[in-house]
Structure 1
């Protein structure tokens, strides 16, 4: 049974309407500029075929931008990728929901759907333009974001390596404090989201470690203790038989990915987990979302860095991958428009995979929107209720607020925040570490 009515199902006058009108064309403009700036690279690699492909891509994206700005109907996908039928079936489903029997369009369809659809259409434009059909239009900004965060990356790698020197001798309380601290680092690393900034520089310039105490009041829900209880049960049972698996559904590449790697490192070092499974996007997505290339590239950059603590982290993390302590997964479900409560039906193999986990961490705002089906829930509705039927394993959302949906708050808190800060749900200032366990 479906949850209550969709959030911003019709956009007139809403936050989502303004975002479709402004942010999505802005992202496309930057994509067009990126493709054009790589014209000489395409010529060098592919000759005139590369130039012709560049022209086709720019024409495709310019047409797509016009479709958005003039509220044209949503079109079926026309490439040969394995998810085409799923997307086109979903468009048919959206059409069945139209009150007036009309066609779903950019301004008259659910915000979550059209936003996901934009990125799938961007992928379509590249796929249909060989020989540049493997080009990641967002790779440059993702890489730049990483390099612009070097100071913060160095500080975090230095802290981790210094702390690990004595990690075997930490008391139970000290272990708990380290886990909590680096979980918060991973939370605030989520502030660096290029899809929210329209691709503008949003890198982390200074060490988050120095800001954790100041940020603490901004954590609206903090269920860290529940995570600690689950993970500490099997602490020290790494005898070759017992295993504790933690899954991390990643969000952004760049600095946030480094914070996720650091947290994963500490989970293994503290023996709170024996294996970490990372879930990445199978195509370029939401400007800065992590792909397999971003995952491997980040480790390679750290390994080759001219800083001993960064390079040591890179070496250890590469070894974790090689020895199977870190495993990454790609699945096309993460780049579909479906809410997560549909996973068991749409992607039963992925749902079964998550059921093997002791704890699943969902990073970021998009994952939260899909966890809660992007519905207009009352702020006090329990997180577990907003998940509806999605309960593959104990799970936690680690997210800074950048979209107008939030559940699980204490009575009155949402109204109080709205009175003092009207943009509290979209500013990225506030965060949650929000847990739910299957009943």
Structure 2
């Protein structure tokens, strides 16, 4: 592992109190669009519909109702913010709070007929990969290993565009962005050097998933490649314990994806067999649905990451949790912002929010004004 850079002075957390900012647009525009879509897709009765409408009427942060199973945790996390507007508290916290209130409004955790029903399920079901995509990824197996490795990282990286909340907001705003495939940081060679099949012990690779559907598919094919080529002895695939950020992957989404592989797909058969024999393990933790960043992860997760040969974090939310959802100068060292992480870590992320570190000096000035939020640029960053 390289020598760590000094820990930088922490800039302030990103907030949503500037009406012209991207975070303000998420709370003001994206969240109502998400609620409207849920109401259109799921035939909730009037009490649930009223509860969802209330979410949008008052942005004041209040404690969860006392019958929420995790109300004491949210009391602790929310104590500094109660009575304040969601626009005035840290953006990452406000987003997590919105999704937790949405799950309470729909009765996801509470006893009743809607318990365990994913309010975003219809949206996920409409955004699944087709057989053509499945067979295209299956066909990569005939390529030389180095070409497979490069193609699978690219597929897993750009699959992160399949973020339903992001897509919905873009459609609602009438925005069309030219999506220029452009890696603003590319540590792909370092990633594969660290995962060289000749590496001592090989060990476990943790993959912390982001979205279901079209992003999860190439993630699964990448996992199969790691196991098939001996670059990992086993893989842990970490998923959310409850519906979150619209399209985030759950255990049910992984199983649905595996069922979509054609019957003659060797990849589908190998992945199912790996789940049965434990070389592929599904992992989840309440932390993944909490308003926290990775420095606040529980000891059990830190131990898993510390024991792993590499942890691969997918997507924008995991990136924000990794480096801190703060107003970093773009040239801030990735090594310094991730030095606390208990083991080697890689971030594969399509850029869809303001947080960026690790750019070369002057690189940000050469990019379009909206590059951080357009979804047209991506980053592969590694601290090995």
- Same fold, TM exceeding 0.5? yes
Which structure has more helix as a fraction of its residues?
A: 1
Q: Tell me the equivalent position of 2:3.
A: none
**Correspondence 1:5-84 to 2 at 5 A:** 5-8=12-15, 10-36=17-43, 54-67=45-58, 72-78=59-65, 80=67, 82-84=69-71
Q: Max radius of gyration: which structure?
A: 1
Give the conservation status (yes or no) of the 8 Å contact 1:11–1:17. Answer: yes
Query: Relative to structure 1, is the Cα distance of residues 423 and 150 closer, same or farther in structure 2, using a 3 angstrom cutoff?
Result: farther
Residues matched between the structures, number: 367
Q: Distance in 2 between matches of 1:284 and 1:393?
A: 28
Once residues 415 and 393 of structure 1 are traced to their aligned partners in structure 2, the CA distance between those partners, rounded to angstroms, is: 32
1:360 deviation in Å?
Answer: 0.3
**Comparing both chains, which one has the higher relative contact order based on Cα–Cα distances under 8 Å and sequence gaps of 6 or more?**
2
TM-score, length-scaled by structure 2: 0.89
Give the match for residue 429 of structure 1. Answer: 376
Decide whether the 8 Å contact of 2:197 with 2:229 is kept in 1: no
Q: Matched residue of 1:190: which SS? A: helix
1:225 alignment counterpart = 189
Q: Partner residue of 1:154?
A: 135
**CA RMSD across the alignment:** 2.2
- Given that 2:29 and 2:169 are in contact with CA atoms closer than 8 Å, whether structure 1 keeps it comes out as no
Map residues 270-419 of structure 1 onto 2, 5 A cutoff: 270-302=229-261, 305=262, 308-309=264-265, 312-343=266-297, 347-387=298-338, 389=340, 391-417=341-367
Over 3 Å counting, the alpha-carbon distance change for 1:331 and 1:76 in structure 2 is same
1:206-225 CA distance string (max 9 Å, x none): xxxxxxxx83xx11111122
For 1:251, what is the secondary structure of its paired residue?
A: coil
- Aligned to 1:435, what secondary structure does the other structure show? strand
* Aligned residue runs from structure 1 range 178-189, under 5 A: 178-189=148-159
Distance 2:213 2:280 in 1: 18
1:35–1:58 Cα contact (<8 Å) kept: no
Question: 2:196 aligns to what SS in structure 1?
Answer: helix
Alpha-carbon separation, structure 2, partners of 1:176 and 1:82: 48
SS in structure 2 opposite 1:366? helix
Runs of 4+ in structure 1 deviating by more than 4 angstroms, as ranges, are: 79-82
Aligned to 1:244: 203
Task: Say which SS state the counterpart of residue 220 (structure 1) adopts.
Answer: strand
Specify the SS of the correspondent of 2:211: coil
Report the Cα offset of residue 9 of structure 1.
5.7
Partner SS, residue 93 of structure 1 = coil
Structure 2 residue runs of 5 or longer lacking an equivalent are 1-6, 172-179
Secondary structure of 2:237 counterpart: strand
After superposition, give the CA deviation of every residue in 1:276-297 in whole Å (9 maximum; x if it has no partner).
Answer: 1000000001111000111111
Structure 1 residue 182 displacement after superposition: 1.0
Q: CA deviation at 1:354?
A: 1.3
Q: Provide structure 1 residue ranges, at least 5 long, that are not aligned to the other structure.
A: 40-53, 96-102, 164-173, 202-213
CA contact (8 A) 1:11 1:108 kept: no
Aligned to 2:120, which of 138, 150, 160? 138
Change in CA separation of 1:80 and 1:388 when aligned onto 2, cut-off 3 Å = farther
Aligned to 1:48: none
Query: How many angstroms does 1:229 deviate by?
Result: 2.2
Question: What is residue 51 of structure 1 aligned with on the other side?
Answer: none
User: Aligned in 2, Cα 1:27/1:192: closer, same or farther, shift over 3 Å?
Assistant: same
Answer whether contact 1:3 1:388 (CA < 8 A) is retained. Answer: no
Q: Distance in 2 between matches of 1:6 and 1:91?
A: 15
Which residue is 1:46 aligned to? none
Q: In structure 1, how many angstroms separate the alpha carbons of the residues matched to 2:376 and 2:169?
A: 19
Q: What residue is the counterpart of 1:44 in the other structure?
A: none
